[in-house]
Structure 1
Amino acid sequence: MVTFIAYAVTILSKLINLYMILIMVYALLSWLPGAYDSTLGRWLGRIIEPYQSLFNFASFGMISFAPVVAILVLYFIQMGVVYLGQLLIGI
């Protein structure tokens, strides 16, 4: 049981890391003209926009800090998952 919990926490942590990387890539696409209209941009938009739209309040003028806030929230969720896993395992 301990091995399963450790494995599940590791997999979940890696998936959260991957999603944070995808958010960063999607944010960097805004620097390239027409990148959101590419196949990669549309695919990332379908994956990232539903979550990132929760943080659209974080804008200052024309600059949106929604990706930064989204990554910070995911980081805290990841730390909570790791801490919960450590509590369940008893480390």
Structure 2
Amino acid sequence: MLITLTIINWLLRLLDVYSIILVIYALMSWIPTLYGTWFGRIIVKVSRPYLSLFENLPLQFWGLDFSIVIAFIVLKFIQRFIVIVFNGVFY
């Protein structure tokens, strides 16, 4: 039980860190030259595989791409689902 709790806790923390990475990726779009820095390349390399799942959805309105917002919301739903399932199984 303690090991499972620790694993779930680490998974939730990793999802929090990934959420922060997605926010950083979105903020970097305001200054596109940041994508060329070493930090920007790391952020792009980490975030693009997940964001590519949402590229084909029709989420572009008025010249803005809202796929990152939907990707962030889905990630938070996944995180919430893990908490609900964990609470339902162990408590």
Q: TM-score, normalised by structure 1?
A: 0.89
What SS class does the counterpart of residue 29 from structure 2 fall into? Answer: helix
| Residue type of the alignment partner of 1:24 | V
What's the C-alpha RMSD, in Å, of the aligned pairs?
1.2
Which residue of structure 2 lines up, in the alignment, with residue 60 of structure 1? 61
Stretches of structure 1 that go unaligned for 5 or more consecutive residues are none
Count residues in correspondence: 89
Structure 2 portions without partners, runs of 5+: none
Rounded to whole Å, the distance in 1 between the matches of 2:64 and 2:19 is 19
**How big is each residue's C-alpha offset from its partner over 1:43-66, in whole Å with a ceiling of 9 and x where there is no partner?**
111110111111122221421111
Deviation at 1:67, TM superposition (A): 1.2
Runs ≥4 in structure 1, deviation > 2 angstroms?
none
The separation in 2 between residues aligned to 1:59 and 1:23, in whole angstroms, is 18
| Other-structure match for 1:35 | 34
Partner of 2:43: 44
Percent identity (aligned): 31
Give the distance between the partners of 2:69 and 2:20, measured in 1 at CA.
12
Pairing of 1:1-91 with structure 2 (within 5 A):
2-56=1-55, 57=57, 58-90=59-91
Higher relative contact order (CA 8 A, sep 6+): 1
Per-residue deviation, 1:72: 0.4
1:88 to partner: Cα distance: 2.2
SS at match of 1:31: coil
